[in-house]
Amino acid sequence: MSELTRSEAQRVLSSRKESTLWREIQRNWVAYVYISPFFILFAIFGAFPILFSFYLSFHRWNGISPMQWVGLENYVRLFQDKLFWLSLKNTIYIGIVAHVPMLIGALILAFIINSPLVRHKDFYRTTYFLPIVTSSVAVALIFGSLYGVRFGLINWLLTGIGLEPIDWWGGKGQWIKPAIIILFIWRWLGWNMVIYLAGLQGIPNDLYEAAAIDGANLPQIFRYVTLPLLRPVILFTIVLSTIGAMTLFDEPFILVGVTGGTSHAGLTIAMYLYNRGFNFAHFGYASAMAYVVSAVIIVASALNIRFFGHGRVEQ
């Protein structure tokens, strides 16, 4: 009898909560109308493509003929695809080689600009940030001209000092990755510098003054005061850099084309996904690739958080 009474009480309580929730919705229906466009647009252009892509990854479809259920065939085929592994290898290589010096250089630049000895900070912030607000297509076209084998500015400077010109796109494709890396560092250095500069400006000056009074020099202040307090900001830039590296598309696409140039040396995972999905109309295969890449990004971000985000600094 007590169990029956308890269950009835739970049903009554649940019905009361539902009626209360419905009354709150009716009372605030105007507010829900005002915020509904966001949820409608997100459902159409955000949630639906994500869910449909997952459903599509288990099918073979060219966009015209009826879908054909293939189960895990796209995923099995993906892990046997040599070009997929090559593009993933290229992406990881470009990401690591480009982002390590870029993040370190951005941190050093931010530390220098944040110094009280440096004047006109706004000028330096604006100058270093300009590449990121410039069209990536325009930047890639300009760098493509700079990399010109016969008439490029870089080769003209090299021959002017007695060195051999570089065939950026020929040979075995050994210079394609360095060309992309140089462009990428130049474009994103200022973005990360501004983020680090914002983090540095949040560190109290009292800590620097106390360290100086204790006899710490500039490298010691940077190592024992600045770096520990900037750990959350550094972690933020590392995670963003991981995502940016795995989705690298515009710059190599403009420089070397969708095939990645000689020996596919510049083929990134995003370019290969685009190539399979839109050039060959293998939408199911491209969808499976997109979910595998998403899993790689999640794992890489989790590892970054695990290794670079442990511990907290008490302020």
Q: Are 187 and 94 in contact (CB under 8 A)?
A: no
Q: Are residues 80 and 47 in the same domain?
A: no
Say if pTM beats, i.e. exceeds, 0.85: no
| Residue 39 placed within a domain | yes
Q: Give me the pLDDT at residue 63, please.
A: 84
Q: Are residues 17 and 128 in the same domain?
A: no
* Domain carrying residue 43: 2-56
Q: Are residues 102 and 29 in the same domain?
A: no
| Residue 112 placed within a domain | yes
Amino acid letter for position 38: F
Which tokens is 210 given?
A: 């106390």
pLDDT > 70 in the chain, percent: 91
Q: Are residues 19 and 80 in the same domain?
A: no
The region of weakest confidence among 1-15, 23-37, 89-103, 288-302 is: 1-15
Span 179-188, mean pLDDT? 92
- Residue ranges of alpha helices (H) inside 114-175 are 121-133, 136-146, 153-160
Span 289-297, mean pLDDT? 92
| CA diameter of the chain | 99
Q: Give me the pLDDT at residue 19, please.
A: 67
pLDDT > 90 in the chain, percent: 33
Give how many domains the chain has, as a whole number: 2
Question: Could you give the CA distance from residue 56 to residue 60 in angstroms, rounded to a whole number?
Answer: 8
Span 231-252, mean pLDDT? 89
Q: Are residues 87 and 26 in the same domain?
A: no
Q: Are residues 168 and 37 in the same domain?
A: no
Q: Give me the pLDDT at residue 173, please.
A: 84
Q: Are residues 147 and 275 in the same domain?
A: yes
Q: Are residues 33 and 110 in the same domain?
A: no
Whether 315 has a pLDDT exceeding 60, the answer reads no
The region of weakest confidence among 25-34, 137-146, 185-194 is: 25-34
Span 38-55, mean pLDDT? 91
Which tokens is 70 given?
A: 């293939």
Q: DSSP letters of 56-117?
A: HTTEE--SSSPPEE-TTHHHHHHHT-HHHHHHHHHHHHHHHHHHHHHHHHHHHHHHHHTSTT
Handedness of CA 66, 281, 59, 49 (dihedral sign): negative
Q: Give me the pLDDT at residue 9, please.
A: 54
Q: Are 22 and 32 in contact (CB under 8 A)?
A: no
Neighbouring CB atoms inside 10 A of 221's CB total 17
| Residue 154 placed within a domain | yes
| Residue 146 placed within a domain | yes
| Residue 124 placed within a domain | yes
Q: Are residues 199 and 125 in the same domain?
A: yes
**Average pLDDT of the chain, as a whole number:** 85
Span 39-55, mean pLDDT? 91
Torsion of CA 280, 285, 288, 293, to 10 degrees: -40
Which residue's entry shows tokens 């931010």?
Answer: 110
Q: Are residues 161 and 13 in the same domain?
A: no
CATH number of the domain where residue 197 is located: 1.10.3720.10
Q: Are residues 180 and 259 in the same domain?
A: yes
Which residue's entry shows tokens 């997929």?
Answer: 84
Terminal-residue alpha carbon distance, the chain: 58
| Residue 23 placed within a domain | yes
| Residue 61 placed within a domain | no
Residue 280: HSE in the Cβ half-sphere, 13 Å Cα cutoff: 14
Question: Could you give the CA distance from residue 45 to residue 47 in angstroms, rounded to a whole number?
Answer: 6
Neighbouring CB atoms inside 10 A of 59's CB total 19
| Residue 71 placed within a domain | no
Whether 314 has a pLDDT exceeding 60, the answer reads no
Q: Are residues 90 and 149 in the same domain?
A: yes
Q: Are 196 and 106 in contact (CB under 8 A)?
A: yes
